[in-house]
Amino acid sequence: MNHFKIYFSHGKDSGPRGSKIKYLSLIAKEMNFLTGSIDYTSTKVPDHRVNILLNSCNNSDENIVLYGSSMGAYVSLAASKTIKPKGLFLCAPALFIPGYNLTEFINLNVPITIVHGYNDTIVPFKNSVKFAEKQQCELHIVNDDHSLSNSQSVISFLFKDFLRRIVAVKRE
């Protein structure tokens, strides 16, 4: 099967139908991507959430793309070693945070786009800079806070571009 499916992973205190997931899911569907939004509200433990994502993607024959916001971005990255996604789109990723077991990430060699806010007081944007330098991936720092709620138009544009690149890589 040549379908792409995007698995959306929400943040610690958010849910599977949060505002970013809603509008990005619409964009994905318009571009003929299948979508799924994982519900992690049963646990706030990052590594438990990784197992939930791995179980959700188990036996999938789609080309998997992962989206994650905050803790969901950590979950997406941690699961990537097993899932081997075709790409990752990460918003304010909770990287290099005390209590999150994974601090070294494999070189994924897939398209990765990160959007992070300068004014994020939950996860410093410099954590994304550190990750992006190691992965040599695309990083966009915006004038926003952790929620990125004032950056919907920028995120939408970047997400569409990201999805176009995923499809282009598959065609090559």
Per-residue pLDDT tens over the stretch 6-53: 999 999 988 888 889 999 999 999 999 999 999 999 999 999 999 999
**CATH number reported for the structural domain that contains residue 129 in this entry:** 3.40.50.1820
Whether residue 160 is predicted with pLDDT greater than 70 in this model: the reply is yes
- Show the domain range for 148: 4-171
Q: How many domains does the chain have?
A: 1
Structure pTM? Answer: 0.94
pLDDT recorded at residue 39: 94
pLDDT digits (tens, 9 = 90+) for 75-89: 999 999 899 999 999
Residue in 126, 155, 142 with CA at minimum distance from that of residue 67: 155
Q: Provide the H-helix boundaries in the chain.
A: 19-30, 46-57, 71-83, 125-135, 152-171
